[in-house]
Amino acid sequence: MFKVIKNNILRLKNEKSYLITALIITIVPILLAVYFTSKFQMKGNIALVTNSNKFDTTSKYINVNVMKEAPAKSTLVMGKYDAIVTDKGNGNFDVVTYKGDDFKKFIEGALQGKSSIRYTPGGTRKAGTNILGYLTMFILMEGTLFMRYFSEDKINGAFKRVLISPISIKSYLVAQYIFNFFIIYLPTFIVLVVEKELLKVDIGFNYFQYSYLLAILTFIATAFGFFMSAIIENTDDSSMMATLIITLTSMLAGCFYSFTNKNNIIDKVTAIMPQKNYLNLVQGIENKSAISNYSGQLVYIFALSIILFIVGAVICNRRYSDGKY
């Protein structure tokens, strides 16, 4: 098992571009998360569609952008605006937002003069949740990226030659999993330490919290990467399909922007996504909730990871037995 891990490390040293790529797709999301957290965390943005100039839009808590035509609703999903408000006249407003009914009522009351315009919703994401939210998609992608060595071994026949040796297929697959886990986990954690200690950035959580929260995310990322590499032989096809799945599900799960949706079908779909369960756990912990309150999410994430690994291992074993490797 250790020889497999050592061999992968030597291969990685000879392909430094892969390590550099991993660092880039780790550092960039953290930098983006830090930037957007400091830029937008204390300010909300509202698009106010009206022909009137009677509204006092001056507020240190919210940006009210007055315009003649309503922007596309996609700007809500992308996080450009928290709400699109259309002035219907006579004190009536049409408010479109994905931040829930409480926020909608608050905006209506503020514009009708029943309350001052102040943006302080209790569910606002903090620095730690923003950083891990941005990192979620990229770490999931890394899970597939570093399974390249496993895919290459299957294609060039090294997988079969390894199994002829005393090492078992179980030990080989576990070794690939361990290598992938630590090659994702360690650089990411180091980047967070550098951000905090050298750049003096608020990363939200303490190191102990990051140690296990990052481990949970890396655990599911490695399992998914292994599963995709097991069911799809070609490395490029596996990476492309995994990237598509990860991107779509991460956006729906709210990794980049927290929003709510009243569509029951979409709610049910997002509820089963591991990203959604993970972010609920992260945000709860950052809001000082006990981790025991999220035992359901933890069990689900670990159970799904184990299932993905077992299914991938069964597929590999069957194909090996059938002489396809």
pLDDT in tens, 211-242: 999 999 999 999 999 999 989 877 788 888 99
Domain boundary residue, one of 84, 111, 138: 111
Query: Do 73 and 184 fall within a single domain?
Result: no
- 132-152 pLDDT per residue, tens: 888 898 899 989 888 888 888
With bands split at pLDDT 50, 70 and 90, how would you rate the model's confidence at 60?
Answer: low
- What pLDDT does residue 125 have? 66
Residue 118 lies inside a defined structural domain of this protein: no
Query: Do 23 and 163 fall within a single domain?
Result: yes
DSSP calls for 219-251: HHHHHHHHHHHHH--SHHHHHHHHHHHHHHHHH
Domain that holds residue 92: 43-111
Residue 120 lies inside a defined structural domain of this protein: no
Question: Burial of 84 by CB count in 10 Å (0-12 exposed, 13-18 middle, 19+ buried)?
Answer: buried
Residue 249 lies inside a defined structural domain of this protein: yes
Residue 88 lies inside a defined structural domain of this protein: yes
Residue 189 lies inside a defined structural domain of this protein: yes
CB 191 within 8 A of CB 142: no
CA-to-CA distance for 213 and 190, rounded, in angstroms? 14
CB 144 within 8 A of CB 263: no
CA-to-CA distance for 161 and 147, rounded, in angstroms? 18
CA-to-CA distance for 184 and 214, rounded, in angstroms? 10
Residue 305 lies inside a defined structural domain of this protein: yes
The alpha carbon of 40 is separated from its chain's Cα centroid by a whole number of angstroms, namely 19
Query: Do 97 and 34 fall within a single domain?
Result: no
CA-to-CA distance for 258 and 264, rounded, in angstroms? 17
CA-to-CA distance for 218 and 179, rounded, in angstroms? 12
**Cα–Cα distances in angstroms (integers) from residue 191 to residues 17, 34, 105, in the given order:** 18, 13, 41
Query: Do 182 and 241 fall within a single domain?
Result: yes
Residue 117 lies inside a defined structural domain of this protein: no
Residue 116 lies inside a defined structural domain of this protein: no
With bands split at pLDDT 50, 70 and 90, how would you rate the model's confidence at 43?
Answer: low
CA-to-CA distance for 288 and 177, rounded, in angstroms? 32
Query: Do 21 and 166 fall within a single domain?
Result: yes
Cβ contacts of residue 307 below 8 Å, gap of 6+?
A: none
Cβ contacts of residue 276 below 8 Å, gap of 6+?
A: 253, 254, 270
Provide the percentage of residues in the chain whose pLDDT is more than 70.
Answer: 82
Query: Do 185 and 277 fall within a single domain?
Result: yes
Query: Do 28 and 60 fall within a single domain?
Result: no
Cβ contacts of residue 128 below 8 Å, gap of 6+?
A: 203, 204, 205, 209, 210, 282, 286
CA-to-CA distance for 66 and 86, rounded, in angstroms? 10
Per-residue b or e along 106-130, where b marks 16 or more CB atoms closer than 10 Å to that residue's CB: bbbebbeeeeebebeeeebbbbbbb
**pLDDT above 50 (res 116):** no
- What pLDDT does residue 170 have? 85
Beta bridge partners of 83: 46
Domain boundary residue, one of 111, 143, 158: 111
Query: Do 19 and 58 fall within a single domain?
Result: no
Domain boundary residue, one of 89, 111, 133: 111
Query: Do 32 and 57 fall within a single domain?
Result: no
CA-to-CA distance for 262 and 25, rounded, in angstroms? 33
Query: Do 140 and 252 fall within a single domain?
Result: yes
Query: Do 139 and 235 fall within a single domain?
Result: yes
Query: Do 152 and 262 fall within a single domain?
Result: yes
**pLDDT above 80 (res 248):** yes
- The structural domain count of the chain equals 2
- What pLDDT does residue 305 have? 96
- 160-172 pLDDT per residue, tens: 777 777 778 888 8
Beta bridge partners of 45: 63
Please name the residue ranges forming H helices in the chain: 2-14, 16-40, 74-77, 101-111, 127-145, 148-156, 158-164, 169-197, 207-231, 235-253, 264-271, 274-286, 295-321
CA-to-CA distance for 212 and 206, rounded, in angstroms? 11
| Helices 169-197/148-156 angle, 10° precision | 150
**pLDDT above 90 (res 83):** no
Quick one: which of 55, 56, 85, 80 has its CA closest to 70?
Answer: 85
Quick one: which of 258, 257, 283, 301 has its CA closest to 205?
Answer: 283
